[in-house]
Amino acid sequence: MAAVNAELRFEHVSFSYGTVPALRDVSFSLAPGERAALLGRNGAGKSTVLRLVTGLVHPAEGTVSVGDWDTRGRAPESLARRVGSVFQHADQQLFARSLRDDVAFGPRALGLAAAEIARRVDTALAALELTAHAAEHPYDLPPAFRKLAALAGALALEPAVLVLDEPTAGLDRPLRARVARALADSAAAGVVVLVATHDLAFAAEVLERSLVLDRGRVAWDAPLAALLTSSERLAPLGLAPPAGAALSAALDLPGRPVRERDVAHALARVAAARGPV
């Protein structure tokens, strides 16, 4: 799906809002196809990381790059050729007369040909199962659908990097599953997926790596499953494990799976191995 594949790289990045420090010496890189959760308490710096990726702000020190592009020399409109984003309250930022027009806004701004715009919009709407709503006015749809529409708009850019801030807030289980599928498909196509979230159950289903920020610093960068099955690591962050991961850790299931389906399979295998009671 991605027009290009590119690595996302933070090298010794620091950033302050005036005198308020937000990030200090943050370094990490995400390879094409990696899916990472950006975690941490409120104020830890998650949204600031995402703003840096989109070029809304630039580092005071250090470098943020997307493939061979340094974000510093680029405005968000230019970075949009490689970076798709959905920020919080995205459902309030739709403005076109139809869902289809809203999703087409980004590809149009890239100056693509009409047929290519149509192809991308169709693909993005289908990825989120919104095709049937394409002609509707965004504000005739429930806010949760508008959130999916904002994500469709980001997918239609066919970015190398997709950054999302709390994409599942306000979504019910079926809609969260749509988002999960769309992100998995994007990653499979080589897109870097970085999601700031408090929704660990969602993260467990879709994301594989975890970056935890603590007061602007990277406090943990490792597989998400290792974090979710360690209450010693989660508790200081003010986080509780999702049910599946908690069960996996409590029963010490082989491989400590965290996805619901994997936990169910592991439980079934353990039960079968024990034989009838």
Contact footprint for ligand ADP (CB under 6 A): 17, 20, 22, 40, 42-48
Q: Which of 181, 106, 91, 98 is nearest to 145 (CA)?
A: 91
Minimum CB separation of residue 43 from ligand ADP in Å reads 4
Minimum CB separation of residue 106 from ligand ADP in Å reads 23
Helices and strands of the chain, counted as H and E runs:
11, 10
Question: CB under 5 to 8 A by kind: which of Mg ion, ligand ADP, none does 48 bind?
Answer: ligand ADP
Minimum CB separation of residue 48 from Mg ion in Å reads 8
Question: Which whole-number Å values give the CA distances from 95 to 92, 117, 127, 139, 241, in the listed order?
Answer: 8, 18, 21, 9, 38
Q: Which of 194, 219, 210 is nearest to 245 (CA)?
A: 210
Q: How many CA atoms lie within 13 A of 126 on its CB side?
A: 7
Nearer of residues 42 and 113 to ligand ADP, judged by Cβ:
42
Nearer of residues 178 and 217 to ligand ADP, judged by Cβ:
217
Q: Say which DSSP state 62 is in.
A: E
Minimum CB separation of residue 197 from Mg ion in Å reads 10
Question: CB under 5 to 8 A by kind: which of ligand ADP, Mg ion, none does 43 bind?
Answer: ligand ADP
Minimum CB separation of residue 186 from ligand ADP in Å reads 22
Q: Which residues contact 259 (CB under 8 A, 6 or more apart)?
A: 204, 205, 244
Nearer of residues 39 and 130 to Mg ion, judged by Cβ:
39
Minimum CB separation of residue 128 from ligand ADP in Å reads 24
Minimum CB separation of residue 199 from ligand ADP in Å reads 14
Q: How far is the C-alpha of 7 from the C-alpha of 190, rounded, in Å?
A: 10
Nearer of residues 20 and 277 to ligand ADP, judged by Cβ:
20
Question: CB under 5 to 8 A by kind: which of Mg ion, ligand ADP, none does 45 bind?
Answer: ligand ADP
Instruction: Compute the C-alpha angle 166/194/204, nearest 5°.
Output: 70
Nearer of residues 47 and 210 to Mg ion, judged by Cβ:
47
Nearer of residues 52 and 193 to ligand ADP, judged by Cβ:
52
Name the closest residue to Mg ion (Cβ). 47
Q: How far is the C-alpha of 110 from the C-alpha of 102, rounded, in Å?
A: 14
| Sheet of 8-17, strand order | 20-30, 8-17, 61-66, 69-70
Find out whether 127 and 182 touch, Cβ atoms under 8 Å.
yes
Nearer of residues 87 and 145 to ligand ADP, judged by Cβ:
87
Tokens of 103: 């999703």
List residues binding Mg ion (CB under 5 A).
46-47
